[in-house]
Amino acid sequence: MVKFCPNCGFKLEKKYKFCPECGFNIESVDEINSDLKNSYAKTAQNSQEALTPVICENCGEENNPENTQCSSCGIKLRNSTAASSNKTSAGKKSSEKSYSNKSLPPVKSVDKKQATGKINNNSKEIKKLNNIKTITVVSVAFGIAIIILIFSGALNSLVLPSGESAANKSQNTSSGVDLGNLDKINSLEAQIKSNPQDTAAILELAHLKNDSGLYEQAIKNYKQYLALVPKDPDARIDMGICYYNLQNYQTAIDEMEQAIKYDPKHQIGYLDLGIVNLAAGNLEKSKEMLKKAVQLDPNSEYGKKAEELLKSHSSNENKNGGQ
């Protein structure tokens, strides 16, 4: 029995065909409910599922689960299938919207310190490789320069203070100690033994051993002499040549530099320093010494020799620069 008008909600205390308040056709609602019940029964029978009708909380009327409003009183039904469907649909849309607003999973960040460390290590490795390449190129260029100078005879041009080429004396005695020199050496050693202050005999003995290629023994005698006559530049240069022949370039340079301090105009000393510095790889120092030798006397034999070596320097630098 209809208890409330589905149109205006007026309470129907008796059974009316039309609502006394608004004139709504009450019987039409009964017919609709009957049709819905029949349709519901057929649907349940066909699907073999007993669907639970929705009970109106207001009037207690049983409604088709598909109804959104009570067929008796017109109040909105909470538990109807349609309402649930709408909620599900709304929830789905909300979920989709919510999902679309979600940010993508965060990308795993890179450890900046670690990345920076790797870059620095690589820079260092690159710099290290570049340094190695540079050193290699310079070494090769220097090696080529030395080879050229050796074949041109530049490094065999050391000159004794007497003006004689040290290379020529070495070649004259390369086959062994001259017997005449050996006899003279023995005689001088006996003389010095009897008179250790005989500076002339000590210096002559040092020269003989130097000429004979006995460089280590000659150095001992030069030191013995220089202990007595320390400011003799010629003796220091001769001793420097002995060190040079033993390939002790730095000591040779030290002794020769000491010699030119005692005699700043020692042209042969500057020439020899240019040659020894070249052999030691001190290219700039070599050029500096050779230029000083030229400045002292460009027209002398030793000034011209220094000029030739300077030209060899420039020629080699141009060739290496061109490569």
138-322, CATH topology level: 1.25.40
Residue 167 CA to its chain's centroid (Å)? 48
Q: Spell out, as residue ranges, where the chain has pLDDT lower than 50.
A: 2, 48-50, 87-110, 112-113, 115-116, 119, 138, 144, 147-155, 173-175, 323
pTM summary value: 0.51
Cβ atoms of 65 and 51 within 8 Å: the answer is: yes
Please state, in angstroms and rounded to a whole number, the distance separating the CA atoms of residues 166 and 161.
10
In this structure, are residues 239 and 222 in contact, taking their beta carbons and an 8 Å threshold?
A: yes
Return the pLDDT at 192.
95
Residue intervals of the chain classified under CATH 1.25.40.10 are 138-322
**pLDDT number for residue 261:** 95
Among residues 262, 263, 289, 261, the alpha carbon closest in space to that of 275 is found at 289
The pLDDT score that the predictor gives to residue 73 is 81
Q: Classify 69 as helix, strand or coil.
A: strand
> How far is the first Cα of the chain from the last one, in angstroms, to the nearest whole number?
115
